[in-house]
Amino acid sequence: MVIPIIGGTAFANPFSDMFRSKGESEQLGIMSSLIRSSGYQCSSAYELRFYGSQQDNDFWIVYCSDGYYIVAFYPDGSTNVLDCKMAQVLGIDCFK
C-alpha cells in the first residue's frame, strides 16, 4: 500500500515530493535500495506507510520480507534508516 498525495498538496520536503510522484513499484524499489544501502536486509519491500512529519522531515514505515524499517527523508535529500525493533527500544512505535 502506498500513500498518495492528497489534493496535490505540496510538502516542505522536496525529496518527499519527488518520491511521492513515483509509481508504487518504483517507490518500493527505491525504499528497498535505501534500506540495503544502509546495511539492512530488504530483499523485497511490499508495503509503505507514511508515518508523519516533523520539522520538514518525513518518515515512512517500510515493510520488507526480511523485516520492518522506518526511513527518514530530510529536505536536503539525505535519508536515515532504522530497524523497527531498534526504533521500539527508542520509544518509536512503527505500528501505530
Give the other-Cβ count within 10 Å of 75's Cβ: 15
Residue 2 lies in a domain: no
Residue 39: predicted pLDDT: 95
Residue 28 lies in a domain: yes
Residue 95 lies in a domain: no
Q: Which helix (H) or strand (E) holds 1?
A: none
Residue 22: predicted pLDDT: 94
Residue 73 lies in a domain: yes
Residue 60 lies in a domain: yes
Residue 3 lies in a domain: no
Residue 74 lies in a domain: yes
Q: What are phi and psi of 74, to 5 degrees?
A: -100, 150
Residue 82: predicted pLDDT: 94
**One pLDDT digit (tens) per residue for the chain, 96 residues:** 333 333 344 457 888 888 989 999 999 999 999 999 999 999 999 999 999 888 889 999 999 999 999 999 998 889 999 999 998 898 888 887
Q: Which helix (H) or strand (E) holds 19?
A: helix 14-20
Residue 69: predicted pLDDT: 96
Parent domain of 20: 14-89
Distance CA 90, CA 45 (A): 23
Q: What are phi and psi of 79, to 5 degrees?
A: -135, 165
Residue 47 lies in a domain: yes
Instruction: Please state whether the predicted TM-score (pTM) of the whole model is above 0.85.
Output: no
Of 94, 22, 80, the closest CA to residue 51 belongs to: 94
